[in-house]
Amino acid sequence: MKAVFLDYATLGPGLDTSPLRDLIPDFEFFDATNEEQVAGRIGDAEFVIANKVRVHDELMEQARNLRFIGLTATGTDNIDLDSARRRGIAVSNIRGYCTRSVVEHVFGVLLMLTHNLHRYTAAVRAGAWQESRVFCLHDYPVRELSSMTIGIVGYGDLGRAVARRAHDFGMNVLISSRPGSVTVPEGRVSFDDLLEQSEVISLHCPLSSETENLFGEPEFQRMQADSILVNTARGALIDSAALVAALESGQIGAAAIDVLSNEPPVDGDPLLKYADNNLVLTPHIAWSTDRARQDAVNELAANIAAFLNNEKRNRVV
């Protein structure tokens, strides 16, 4: 058996790959694979592992030995699933490997923004505390999460985990119904009501034709002036230019953005040029604690082991 990992560098350094090598000793790891290299690298492989590399119908046609495609992510949009299904190629993804990491990131950036930690750190470094006439500074407001309402858009594993942690902080939790839906299931609120009632909105929904640019100028106008938007899901859920305008004008209070429409953003993005303190912009790291990255490897190995034992685990095809 031969296996190839097409974009191993996406998982980052310092991981133990022995769970994979123990299953398939002939396991070749490529840090990155461009579009022109894919066919040559998967040509005689039975197992192909990828995170973001696209594997389309023509490539599967050429890879006559291909039996299994393993994704090191939950999303499957880079794989032609219909083609895999027609050709009898198994496809699996990994799930739940980064839930703790994402939840901690969401509340880390929320605490940073609500407690103005970055602004107070800058003030101390600028000498403001040293010159204070009292023992502390009150230059910026400090808000308690327990007094706030959080709205969650996307109620899968990640959305549910964020909701549980929000309850631990004493927050009021609202769960959005499917955007655009005419019905509101019991226990949820309409998307419009969530926009108006939430002081924090956290995004955990997939990207689709219905959710692309889900947050644009009309949505920001409906949000509260001191509200905080957190996106650890997909960059294209938000119109970046509209978000910059909302932050500049005070339509919303702040945003914490971990994802952009194009990654890496080699062609730029309006958010990259915005420099005020009410934006926290991070390079798609919410998922990537050391433990989560190793869990991704371990989950992938478990999926391959299940396939070798004629069992279905995390199979999407």
Q: pLDDT digits over 137-159, tens only?
A: 999 999 999 999 999 999 999 99
- Identify the pLDDT of residue 260: 97
186 in active site: no
Question: Is it true that 3-97+290-308 and 99-281 share their CATH fold?
Answer: yes
Cβ atoms of 92 and 263 within 8 Å: the answer is no
CA distance 97 to 287: 9
Amino acid identity of residue 112, one-letter, is: M
List the Cα angle 160/163/167 in 5-degree steps: 140
- Identify the pLDDT of residue 61: 94
Of the residues 263, 299, 311, 315, only one is catalytic, namely 263
CA distance 229 to 254: 7
Q: Is the predicted pLDDT of residue 313 greater than 90, yes or no?
A: yes
Of the residues 178, 234, 293, 299, only one is catalytic, namely 234
Long-range contacts of residues 263-267, Cβ cutoff 8 Å, at least 24 apart: 263/235
Domain boundaries, the chain: 3-97+290-308, 99-281
Select the CATH number that applies to the domain covering 99-281 from these four: 3.40.50.10420, 3.40.50.10470, 3.60.21.10, 3.40.50.720.
3.40.50.720
User: Could you check whether the bond before residue 19 is cis, i.e. omega within 30 degrees of 0?
Assistant: no
pLDDT digit string, tens, across residues 219-243: 999 999 999 999 999 999 999 999 9
Amino acid identity of residue 67, one-letter, is: R
Written as six digits, the tokens of 142 are 């400090």
Of the residues 67, 118, 160, 284, only one is catalytic, namely 284
Written as six digits, the tokens of 171 are 């927050």
The mean per-residue pLDDT over the stretch 56-64 comes to: 95
CATH architecture of 3-97+290-308: 3-Layer(aba) Sandwich (3.40)
Q: Is the predicted pLDDT of residue 264 greater than 80, yes or no?
A: yes
pLDDT band for 199, please (50, 70, 90 cuts).
very high
Report the greatest alpha carbon distance in the chain.
Answer: 76
pLDDT digit string, tens, across residues 3-52: 999 999 999 999 999 999 999 999 999 999 999 999 999 999 999 999 99
263 in active site: yes
Mean pLDDT of the chain: 96
118 in active site: no
pLDDT band for 182, please (50, 70, 90 cuts).
confident
Q: How many residues does the chain have?
A: 317
DSSP secondary structure, 240-266, as one string: HHHHHHHHHHTSSSEEEE---SSSS-T
Q: Which residue has the tokens 């709205």?
A: 151
